[in-house]
Amino acid sequence: MYHEPVLLKESLDMLRLQAEGTYVDATFGGGGHARHLLENLGGKGRLYAFDQDEDARNNALKPPFSGNPCFVFVPANFRYLKRMLRSEGVDVGSVDGILADLGVSSHQIDTAERGFSYRFDAPLDMRMNNRDGNTAADVLQKYSADKLQSVFSELGEVRNARTLARAVLHHRETGQVLKTTGELVGLCDKNLMGERWRYLSQVFQSLRMEVNDELGALTDFLKDAHEMLAPGGRLVVITYHSLEDRLVKNYIKTGNVEGNVVQDFYGNIDRPFEITLKKPLEASDTEIKSNPRARSAKLRVAEKHKT
């Protein structure tokens, strides 16, 4: 089963759905948000759903999506938002709302062979698109110690990133290859710093983000989202950790992920969005109790300037 959609009511409310509007669910997954988006469109609008995952594509072949004239599934990474929407005949500056839930689905984590979780002994894959690109095993086998240290430190905030990177290199130098999640966990157990579950989560997160270039994809998506939105159109993004949340916050405030304030000759600040919420929305205690993955979720909303 896929996860329950996080902050569902808040997401729908913030999109201000119009029955005949054009919308994008940039992270389709199991279709949790998309299902409710379609219901609210009432058979008149259009919903484009993006996902590069094969399992998500299979979900799009089931009711209420299959055969629905209001629904279009786009089998692609959301970093290609503009290109793929243009290929579907959607004009730049014509989308009324875009939603992105950046969390990894429970389905992906709980499917052992995908290699996302340290709870199973499975191949070290971690690719969102499991038909293309380097796997986590490739990263551990090919990267230099310095590059691995950067991955562990910057993407996972692993406190002893240098020590772990050197441990991986030493493992390689002895002729051994890390091929499974169980083997990686064994290596991590010899180099633990702090709570085991937290340490393993950070290491696995860093590799997953590197394999899928998640921050690069998010940066591309944010730029395309601004271009594709109509004046007054809304961007709604749900984040789950500080790295991606910082990128979203910076882009909404300044138009770039670095957070650099850009001013014109007269000192006017270039802000591509109006910030709809000064602080992100978070899940209620009731939602967290029924859906623990909502605990770290933050929902940010911005509206494209009307002029």
Answer whether the bond into residue 5 is a cis peptide, omega within 30°: no
CB atoms within 10 A of CB 120: 17
pTM for the full predicted model: 0.93
Q: How confident is the model at residue 2 (pLDDT cuts 50, 70, 90)?
A: low
- At residue 247, the pLDDT reads 96
Please, which pLDDT band fits residue 84 given cuts at 50, 70 and 90?
Answer: very high
Superfamily designation of domain 130-211: Putative methyltransferase TM0872, insert domain (1.10.150.170)
Name the residue ranges covered by the structural domains of the chain. Answer: 8-107+214-304, 130-211
Q: Is 205 helix (H, G, I), strand (E, B) or coil?
A: helix
Q: Picking from 122-136, 196-210, 220-234, which range would have the lowest pLDDT averaged per residue?
A: 122-136
Is 99 exposed, middle or buried, given 0-12, 13-18 or 19+ CB atoms closer than 10 A?
Answer: buried
CA angle 88, 90, 93 (to 5 degrees): 155
DSSP state of 29: T
CA geometry: angle 126, 131, 134, nearest 5 deg:
50
CB count within 10 Å of CB 226 equals 21
Tell me which residue has tokens 């979203």: 248
SS (H, E, C) 69-111: CCEEEECCCHHHHHHHHHHCCCCCCCEEEEEEECCCCHHHHHC
Write down the pLDDT at residue 265: 81
**pLDDT computed for residue 154 by the predictor:** 97
Top-level class of domain 8-107+214-304: alpha beta
Predicted confidence at residue 1, as pLDDT, reads: 46
Is there a contact between 38 and 62 (Cβ–Cβ < 8 Å)? Answer: no
Q: pLDDT band for 263, please (50, 70, 90 cuts).
A: confident
What whole-number distance in Å separates Cα of residue 141 and Cα of residue 157? 21
| Mean pLDDT over each residue of the chain, to the nearest integer | 94
Across the range 1-15, mean pLDDT stands at: 86
CA distance 274 to 208: 32
For residue 123, give Cα distances in angstroms to 118, 131, 182, 233: 11, 14, 9, 42
Q: Which of 23, 27, 57, 26 is nearest to 37 (CA)?
A: 23
Nearest to 109 by CA among 118, 97, 99, 96: 118
